[in-house]
Amino acid sequence: MFEKGITPYQNVSILILVSFAFQTLMMPIILSEVDGPVGWLSIIIGAIILILTIKPINKIMDDYKEDTIVGISSHLLPKYIAKSIGLYYIILFIVANSLLMKDFAEQIKLLMLFKTPISFIIITILLTASYAAKKGIQTISEIAHITVLIALIPYLAVIIFSAYYSNYTNVFPIYPVDIEGVVKSIPNTLFGFFGYAILMFSNSHVSKTEKNMLLNKKFIIISMAIYIGCYILIIIKFGMEEAVNLVWPFLSVMKFVNIPGFFFESTEIVGMSFQIIVTFSCVCILMYFTNLAIQETLETKENGYFIFIQIPILYIMAAALPGMYMLYPYVKIPAYVFSGLNLLIPILIIFKGKKKGKARN
């Protein structure tokens, strides 16, 4: 009688939460890539592209219930390609997680712990997150659901209060549109929908898979709304000229939060506390799905101990990465590659699945 999988809305929470973390990470790139305040156009285009693939990929997933994308590809594609897909997702999750952690640790050091070595912050996050990731998908999904309730929603609600004294005319001019910039930044915005890569694994754990298609679409629409909302908030607050120079636009926005009666002076620390919980949950989620990708690729049983293999790798990668302000110019190319592959792999599987379906008929 007790459910063994996760509920459909817990899955949505996982996807929204992860996407939000990467949206905060990718925001400076989108701001700088598009000339003019029309970055929201590339967010909409990115979302539409993803929505178009949701239906066919869910149909394939329905045919191979309880299989993740790695499992499905091993049914449809040659073994070495299936293994390569598994390997790709492992690398993607590890790289993404280390980027997230580095960025996060730097923000904490800058705002909260000036004297503490960054490596100490990283190892603290890693060890705590590994405890959660080892507990399994149900714990992870519950954490995501609770985090949405107690951290993400209050965080977004608090951010809205920074809209006081903003210049709303900053959203103009919409025309003429920097079409080249918009097209160029689509891969970056796609990276901001990181939940799309996660759903290739998480959908198979949902207890009621028939709801997946609708809720995957809902996830993309909600994520898009948050993405656009935050983008516009930053634009109206700072204007394009200032916004392109911001390393952590979300933190900068938090400085201007003006809640009537709120007596704390540095509101960015309050926002940071919420963000710690949000990002921490994302680190847990990514660690769990890296573990799952390793299991699927190596075709092993459920094994939480792969988490311990990840810890030194993530630690070394996060510690070795240069600061985010130095890293942004180099993030663009990996973002192109990862976003492209994130889209291409499901399309390849859809194509193969359809071909196999036709052959069977």
Partner 1 sequence: MKENKVERKIETDLNKNIAILKEILKDADDIIYRRLECGKNQKIKMGVVYIDGMTDKDSVSEYAIDNLIENLDLEELEKNAEKELQGAIAKTSISVLEVKPILTIEDSVLKILSGETVLFIDTCSKAIMLSSRGWPMRGVSEPSTETVLRGARDGFNETMKVNLTLIRRRIRDPKLKVKYMQIGSVSKTDIAIMYIEDKVNEDVLKAVQKRLNNINIEAVLESSYIEELIEDDNYSPFPQIENTERPDAAASALLEGRVVIAVDNTPTVLMAPAIFTAFMQSSEDYYERWLSSCMIRIIRYIALPITILLPAMYVAITSFHPNMLPTELALYVAASRANVPFPAYFEAFLMELVIELIREAAIRIIGPVGSTIGLVGGLVIGQSSVEAGLITPLAVIVVALTAIASFTIPSYNFSTSLRMIRFAFIFLAATMGLFGISIGLCILIIHLCTLKSFGIPYLSPFSSFVENKKDLKDTVIRHKIHNLVHRPQYLRSKKEKGL
**Residue 131: CB minimum distance to partner 1, A:** 6
**Residue 238: CB minimum distance to partner 1, A:** 22
Distance of CA 14 to the CA centre of its chain: 9
Mark the segment that binds partner 1 (CB under 8 A) among 133-141, 163-171, 247-255, 320-328. 133-141
Mark the segment that binds partner 1 (CB under 8 A) among 62-70, 117-125, 235-243, 252-260. 117-125
- With respect to partner 1, which residue has the nearer C-beta, 94 or 111? 111
- With respect to partner 1, which residue has the nearer C-beta, 7 or 84? 7
Q: Which of 156, 247, 277, 317 binds partner 1 (CB under 8 A)?
A: 277
276 binds partner 1 (CB under 8 A): yes
Cα separation, 69 vs 329, whole angstroms: 31
Show Cβ contacts of residue 141 under 8 Å, excluding neighbours closer than 6 positions. Answer: 6, 7, 10, 11, 13, 14, 205
Cα separation, 167 vs 180, whole angstroms: 26
Site string for partner 1, 6-45 (x = CB under 8 A): -xxxx-x---------------------------------
70 binds partner 1 (CB under 8 A): no
Q: Which of 73, 185, 281, 297 binds partner 1 (CB under 8 A)?
A: 281
Mark the segment that binds partner 1 (CB under 8 A) among 83-91, 126-134, 238-246, 322-330. 126-134
**CA nearest to 11, candidates 174, 168, 204:** 204
Helix/strand/coil for 9:
helix
280 binds partner 1 (CB under 8 A): yes
Cα separation, 34 vs 357, whole angstroms: 42
124 binds partner 1 (CB under 8 A): yes
Q: Do residues 312 and 127 touch, judged by C-beta distance below 8 A? A: no
Question: By CB neighbour count within 10 A (0-12 exposed, 13-18 middle, 19+ buried), where does 125 fall?
Answer: buried
Q: Which of residues 84-113 bind partner 1 (CB under 8 A)?
A: 108, 112-113
149 binds partner 1 (CB under 8 A): yes
CB count within 10 Å of CB 170 equals: 18
Q: Which of 19, 147, 202, 290 binds partner 1 (CB under 8 A)?
A: 147
Question: By CB neighbour count within 10 A (0-12 exposed, 13-18 middle, 19+ buried), where does 180 fall?
Answer: exposed
Helix/strand/coil for 135:
coil
Cα separation, 73 vs 57, whole angstroms: 12
- With respect to partner 1, which residue has the nearer C-beta, 83 or 205? 205
273 binds partner 1 (CB under 8 A): yes
Tokens representing residue 113 in the block: 């712990």
47 binds partner 1 (CB under 8 A): no
Q: Do residues 4 and 204 touch, judged by C-beta distance below 8 A? A: no
Interface contacts to partner 1, rule CB under 8 A: 1-2, 7-10, 12, 108, 112-113, 116, 121, 124-125, 128, 131-132, 135, 138-139, 142-143, 145-147, 149-150, 263-266, 269-270, 272-273, 276-277, 280-281, 284
